[in-house]
Chain A
């Protein structure tokens, strides 16, 4: 009987912890948005974060987007060739890049690169009690540390997504037209016929939500760091894992809602 009760206690505590974290993160999000409008942070801090989050993430986003578009074209070519529908690769690449792969891959890349660095940075500040120091100086750590990162993320992840979508389609075009010899006009025409601004907006809205997830997860996990260097490493890993999982799960629900 005692063992059974322990099992329930473990499950219950996990769920309570999860819900508590979710609640705290949500409160943090609300707090961040409130601060963003009531006391916007200094411009130069935001610019620094923008460079860190947007500009520095561009190469990795371009690389993943490009190769994803290319591999889509290669894989689908062999399947569609058997149906003599190879000109519809344009549709496949265009639709999947705008709707799914562009935002999701950008979200994952940004979560891996930016989410981890946020968690590590804020976690180090937390364990070295710099955050406590900020609070003692009557400076809101949310306003000073979270809001700039949040703004930079929310503004720049959609733009990164646009880059990703564009370069993915270019990659698909290069493979399909230059390598596989599909008629360029049909490739582009079919893609434009079946992909429209609705799909593009779909992807950008998704990217917007993924940006919120990455920023809040990274900051929240950083703030929740405890102990020494070990704790910082732990929250960094957690931030990346949680952000990635949240992105994939929310992508599913966003797809249902947006269609």
Chain B
């Protein structure tokens, strides 16, 4: 009985120990995917992906990297042309060849993993990746390159900062502040001026309205006058009325010319020398081009 008790204790101890061990083995074990197929990703730079590293599709773990192959074929001297990343993908995970395949960091320690980002819209034309298919990956940014670029950016930023500093020398700052204060004064003056203008308009608003209405009356009348004048001119042009006839009708001119000829013929203009000197002078002026204004007008009209 004593011995049985002893054996029971040891048995319980071992059994529980083995149970705990089994539990831990199951928990700590790498979650393997039972049925898998292989896909090969082509990269120029893998940035530290390791064998056994995770492969994620849209962030969900769907497989792991099983091999990294340096491909040398086609190049002399065994130069490395690119890297083939062989991945085991769980069966049932359908990946199309329009997915973005990139290398990304994940986790606290920033380990690299392969990330499949499916295209935004499912394109039925895109080929479903079959076991052994190769897909071109997007190379990760080389951190050193990024650092170099960043350095250059900082350099140019520094230059810009220096230039700004130069522009903002003490004197320039004084000038700028002076300009600003001047502008301020100007604005204040403008304000006063606008206020005054405002007052002026407000106080004389009635007068201005009257003025404007009168002006508009006046312009109406003026228009009427113009219309009248226009109609007169039209009449004249058409040869209506005395003035029209005078202007347009050649008959009157002919009559007048004939009359004057007749008058000359019969010497009516030259009735007596002493009697009508002023008139003879006028006629003389007509002949010799005298500059008498009245006669000038007459002359032009007669002709």
Q: Is there an interface contact between A44 and B3, defined as CB atoms closer than 8 Å?
A: yes
Q: Is the CB of A165 within 8 A of B14?
A: no
Q: A85-B108, A197-B30 are in contact. Are A156 and B20 (CB under 8 A)?
A: no
A156:B14 contact, CB within 8 angstroms? yes
Q: How far is the CA of A19 from the CA of B17 in the complex (A)?
A: 37
Asked if A165 contacts B24 (CB within 8 A), the reply is yes
What 10 A-B pairs are tightest by C-beta distance, nearest first? A159-B17, A162-B21, A50-B10, A55-B13, A166-B20, A197-B29, A55-B9, A196-B28, A197-B28, A51-B10
Is the pair A159, B29 in contact by a Cβ cutoff of 8 Å?
A: no
Q: When the two chains form their complex, are residues A192 and B28 in contact, meaning their CB atoms are under 8 A apart?
A: yes
Is A67 in contact with chain B by the CB < 8 A criterion? no
A251 in the interface (beta carbon within 8 A): no
The yes or no answer to A6 lying at the interface (CB within 8 A) is no
Q: A47-B7, A51-B6 are in contact. Are A163 and B24 (CB under 8 A)?
A: no
Is A147 an interface position by the 8 A CB rule?
Answer: no
Of B18, B21, B25, B107, chain A has the most CB atoms within 10 Å of the CB of B21
Residues of A within 8 Å of B20, CB to CB, are: 162-163, 166
Distance in angstroms between the alpha carbons of A50 and B9 in the assembled complex: 10
Contact B13 A58 (CB under 8 A): yes
**CB-CB < 8 A to B29: which residues of A?**
196-197
Q: How many A-B residue pairs have CB under 8 A?
A: 63
Chain B stretch 17-73: residues in CB contact (< 8 A) with chain A: 17-18, 20-21, 23-25, 27-30
Q: Is A32 an interface residue (CB 8 A)?
A: no
A166-B23 Cα distance, complex, nearest whole Å: 10
Q: Which of A112-132 contact B (CB under 8 A)?
A: none
User: CA separation between A64 and B27, bound complex, in Å?
Assistant: 23
The CA of A88 and the CA of B27, in the complex, are separated in Å by 17
Interface residues of A (CB under 8 A from B): 44, 47-48, 50-51, 54-55, 58, 85, 87-88, 91, 94, 98, 155-156, 159-160, 162-163, 165-166, 190, 192-193, 195-197, 199-200, 204
Interface string of B155-186 (1 = CB under 8 A from A): 00000000000000000000000000000000
- The minimal Cβ–Cβ distance linking A94 to chain B, given in whole angstroms, is 8
Q: Is the CB of B24 within 8 A of A190?
A: no
Assess whether A47 is in contact with B10, with CB atoms less than 8 Å apart.
yes
The contact sample of 14 A-B pairs, CB cut-off 8 A, is A44-B3, A47-B6, A48-B6, A51-B10, A54-B13, A55-B13, A160-B17, A162-B17, A162-B21, A163-B16, A163-B17, A196-B29, A197-B25, A200-B28
Measured between beta carbons, the chain B residues less than 8 angstroms from A54 are 10, 13-14
Contact partners of B7 in chain A: CB under 8 A: 47
**CB-defined contacts of B3 to chain A, threshold 8 Å:** 44, 47
A200 and B6 form a contact (CB under 8 A): no
Whether A200 and B14, one on each chain, are in contact in the complex, defined by CB atoms closer than 8 angstroms, is: no
Given A159-B17, A160-B17, also A192-B9 (CB < 8 A): no
Question: How far is it, in angstroms, between the C-alpha of A162 and the C-alpha of B21 when the chains are bound?
Answer: 6
Q: Are B108 and A195 in contact (CB-based, < 8 A)?
A: no
Beta-carbon contact of A159 and B6 below 8 Å: no
CB closest chain-A residue, reference B26: A197
Closest-CB distance, B110 to chain A (whole angstroms)? 12
Residues of B within 8 A of A47 (CB): 3, 6-7, 10
With a CB–CB cut-off of 8 A, which chain B residues contact A192?
A: 27-28
What residue in chain B is nearest A57 (Cβ atoms)? B13
Q: How far is the CA of A138 from the CA of B106 in the complex (A)?
A: 67
Contacts of B27 in A (CB 8 A): 192
- Residues of chain A within 8 A of B30, CB atoms compared: 196-197
Residues of chain B with a CB closer than 8 A to A190's CB: 108
Complex CA gap A98/B28 in Å reads 11
| A165 CB contacts on chain B under 8 angstroms | 24
> Judging by beta carbons under 8 Å apart, are B10 and A195 in contact?
no
Complex CA distance for A242 and B292, rounded to whole angstroms: 156
CB neighbours of A193 from chain B (8 A): 107
* Measured CA separation A192–B13 after assembly (Å): 26
A95–B45 alpha-carbon span in the complex (Å): 31
Q: Which residues of A contact B108 (CB under 8 A)?
A: 85, 87-88, 91, 190
Q: Are A55 and B10 in contact (CB under 8 A)?
A: yes
Q: Which residues of A contact B14 (CB under 8 A)?
A: 50, 54, 155-156, 159
A51 and B5 alpha carbons, distance in the complex (Å): 10
Least CB distance from B69 to A in Å reads 24
Q: Is the CB of A166 within 8 A of B24?
A: yes
